[in-house]
Structure 1
Amino acid sequence: MTGTPAAPDPRHPPIPPVSGRDEPRFGSAERKAALAGAFAAQGADYDRLRPGYPETVLEAMLAPFAAPPRRAIDLGAGTGKLSRSLVERGLEVTAVDTSAAMLEVARGGGEVADGTGTLATRVAPAEATGLPAASAELVTVAQAWHWFDAQAASAEAVRLLAPGGVLALVWNMLDVTIPWVHRLSRIMHAGDIHREDFAPTVGPGLELAARSVHQWQDPMPTQDVIDLARTRSYVITAPEDRRQKVLANLDWYLHDHLGHARGAVVGVPYRTDLFLYRAVAGARTDGE
């Protein structure tokens, strides 16, 4: 039997369509380079406002190892959001980034508990770190793989991995399956929203071993949610009038439209996608 469809319930709006992208789009190599370089002067804000990685993600990242890994290399480490979490778990971490300013923030990111690992930094591109071959059981890339040359970075990761090692690619993304977050991401111009079943591009020397998705919330005062837009490459590189318009729109959306009191703490929903890869047999050449 057919009939008239029920009217939409305004209390439960439909889930909006999410991105169809497997990775961000940049338009040109020059635009990609300009956006990537824009973060260099935003280290303090990036470190304060961007979320870290929940315990479930770190546990899943280390789950493939029969014994805890000792050494990790964090490519595109930025301000060390992931690097420091691995140090806290006892690893000897080398944070690699092309920005000395971002790595300076990583080194000054606060004390960690006694008896934990160590943090070293190295200014170098992910595609050619200059580090010894087979020098880490774990190679990580957090929020940065899409900025690299995927084929060259894959080859470098394979070279860096010790036998039996794991490459972990991880992304925190706003959970845009939630309608109010979807609109927030549009106002904020969050360009790193991927399709729900996206798969990163990697070179032929790597094979996927595991994938997991983790949903969680990051509690933030409303002003920090607004300031989070300042860490987005679109806003960083926008003319001042456009930047101020984005921030004003976010202020209206959070306080007037959604009705949050100024300074109220909002649980910002995220999803974290984790991909674990192992080197294909024969792909790594010792001594390279």
Structure 2
Amino acid sequence: MTELAATFKQQAVAEAYQHRPPYPDEVFDRLVHLITDPPRRVLDIGAGDGAIARPLAPRVEHVDAIDFSQPMVDTGRQRPGGDHPNLGWQVNPIEAADLDGPYALVTAGASIHWMPWEETFARIVPQLTPNAQLVVIEHGPVDMPWWDGVLTAIQKHSRKQNHDPKYNVFDAIAERGLLDVNGTARTEPVVYRQRVADYVEQFHSTSSLARDLMSPDEADDFDAIVEEAVRPYAQDGVLELKVQAELSWGRPKIPS
């Protein structure tokens, strides 16, 4: 896990992040609704290029976006909304971050599974308002008729061969006794149109399929398999994706 996590410090991975589908607008409506305490400050942990932090910043008083990868933060600063006055960036692992609470909400988008949970919660809980929630957000395309072909490429080339599709990180944290679960919600699917080349490239933003982990020939083979799988479903080189998000939230606790 440590070796795979380090791939997020690669410049090519940070650049490939721009090809991941954005979070549906409904995600941000729900996040704002979950804030019930002043001040309306948000802590985004494992922020990456700010896919959550950048759209959320104009809707709250402040967002602190924390990530351990300098290339990710540098990329995020340059992306739309990355220089918003309500947004502060910091390069640090969350368990060592310089936090400036209190925070009324903590967000984690497909990132908290990389973190040492006990150390992370011990760091953030003292910085929370009385009713602050931790929200874990997963999102991506659903109902993809081409997925079996894509999965063939992933299984052939992924550096992570023990992936369990039934694993739920939020449930695992709750089972560890680190939070009280308060709710879950799924957003309505939204249509996102993406060029086939960009759809292929977004896989290289993941820890197990980064280009720097592959030889050029291997990367070309992966790309060719995925492109062959999706091309029949594209119109004029563009795929129509249905993107959905799942939010799970609860009150974090300090480890006993």
Q: TM-score, with normalisation over the residues of structure 2?
A: 0.82
Counterpart-to-counterpart distance in 2, 1:63 and 1:194: 30
The residue that corresponds to 1:223 in the other structure is 197
The residue that corresponds to 1:58 in the other structure is 28
Tell me the alpha carbon deviations over residues 167-200 of structure 1, each in whole angstroms, 9 at most, x when there is no partner: 111111342x544235434434587884397744
- Which of the pair has more CA radius of gyration? 1
| Corresponding residue to 2:172 among 187, 201, 207 | 201
Tell me the alpha carbon deviations over residues 227-264 of structure 1, each in whole angstroms, 9 at most, x when there is no partner: 12221222212333222111011122222xx2535x53
CA contact (8 A) 2:36 2:104 kept: no
Q: CA deviation at 1:60?
A: 1.9
| Corresponding residue to 2:222 among 246, 251, 256 | 246
Q: For 1:151, give the aligned amino acid.
A: E
Q: CA deviation at 1:82?
A: 0.5
Q: Residues 224 and 69 (structure 1 numbering): CA distance in 2 closer, same or farther, change over 3 Å?
A: farther
2:236 equivalent to 1:266:
no
Q: Residues 254 and 248 (structure 1 numbering): CA distance in 2 closer, same or farther, change over 3 Å?
A: same
Alignment of 1:159-198 (within 5 A): 159-175=126-142, 178-188=144-154, 194-195=165-166
Counterpart-to-counterpart distance in 2, 1:200 and 1:158: 19
CA contact (8 A) 2:138 2:247 kept: yes
Q: Which has the higher contact order (CA 8 A, sep 6+)?
A: 2
CA contact (8 A) 2:14 2:49 kept: yes
| Corresponding residue to 2:7 among 29, 34, 38 | 38
CA contact (8 A) 1:229 1:247 kept: no
| Corresponding residue to 2:88 among 120, 123, 130 | 120
Q: CA deviation at 1:100?
A: 1.5
Q: For 1:252, give the aligned amino acid.
A: E
Q: CA deviation at 1:66?
A: 4.1
Q: CA deviation at 1:69?
A: 5.7
Q: For 2:204, give the aligned amino acid.
A: R
Q: For 1:187, give the aligned amino acid.
A: A
Q: Residues 174 and 146 (structure 1 numbering): CA distance in 2 closer, same or farther, change over 3 Å?
A: farther
Q: Residues 126 and 50 (structure 1 numbering): CA distance in 2 closer, same or farther, change over 3 Å?
A: same
- Structure 2: 5+ residue runs without aligned partners? none
Q: TM-score, with normalisation over the residues of structure 1?
A: 0.74
Q: Residues 198 and 128 (structure 1 numbering): CA distance in 2 closer, same or farther, change over 3 Å?
A: closer
CA contact (8 A) 2:146 2:229 kept: no
SS in 2 for 1:230: helix
Tell me the alpha carbon deviations over residues 112-159 of structure 1, each in whole angstroms, 9 at most, x when there is no partner: 89xx76111111112232314x42111111110111112222333322
State the superposition RMSD in angstroms: 2.8
- Structure 1: 5+ residue runs without aligned partners? 1-31
Counterpart-to-counterpart distance in 2, 1:198 and 1:182: 24
Counterpart-to-counterpart distance in 1, 2:110 and 2:68: 14
